[in-house]
Amino acid sequence: MKRTRFSFLLLGLIVAATPVRGNVEVSNPNSPPLENIIFQQVPSGEFDFDYSWNNDYEIGQSFQALEDMTVTDITVSIGKLQPGAAFKAFTLNIYEIEGPAELPSEENLKSSQAGHLPPSLAPNTFLTFTLGNPIALKKGKWYTIMLVSKGEESGVGFPLLATDAVKDDTFTWYKDTETTLQRYTNRSLTFYVQGKKARE
């Protein structure tokens, strides 16, 4: 069958819209990263998100790429864990959005990579998620990173450190018992994005 230019274009759009898949390795360092940081949000003050590790609960943060960059690692700060948080399954989703207030959705999903938390976790430390497939981001574009808990309903407390010193251009999103994502209007996650800039 002869393929038209339109059919090739349509095929290209379908391929481009397919999210990147992969596996995530997780480490539990005692201190935040110091090298290869391409974006960070480390505001003053601390607040523990009251996050329960139940199936398909979500929490995450939007941010703007300041340069063309490739993300390899994402680090968050964790507080006082309840027993049972170790080795929980999750997916880490990255969405490319039109602006910080746009809801993440299947239509703008750029990457979905799965993993498990380490078999043991120390409280008041950090979690570093190393992507199996690094993700390229474009300068000026907005992105949202969402951690989605998987597995049986457990209600295990899993506090992520944040602050009430919120910037207008960073949105924290969460979904627990609600059917849609909600915006935390007065909280902002502490997190680090590592990788390399395109010019390096």
Single-letter residue type at 39: F
Tell me the pLDDT band of 81, cut-offs 50, 70 and 90: confident
Mean pLDDT of 72-95: 89
Name the band, by pLDDT with cuts 50, 70 and 90, for residue 86: confident
Q: Select the more confidently predicted residue: 189 or 96.
A: 96
Whether the pLDDT of residue 148 is over 80: the answer is: yes
| Residue 154 clears pLDDT 80, i.e. is over it | no
C-alpha radius of gyration, the chain, whole number: 17
Tell me yes or no: is domain 20-197 CATH 3.40.50.
Answer: no
More confident call, 126 vs 154: 126
B/e letters for 103-140, b = 16+ CB within 10 Å, e = fewer, are bbeeebbbbbbbbbbbeebeeebbbbbbbeebbebeee
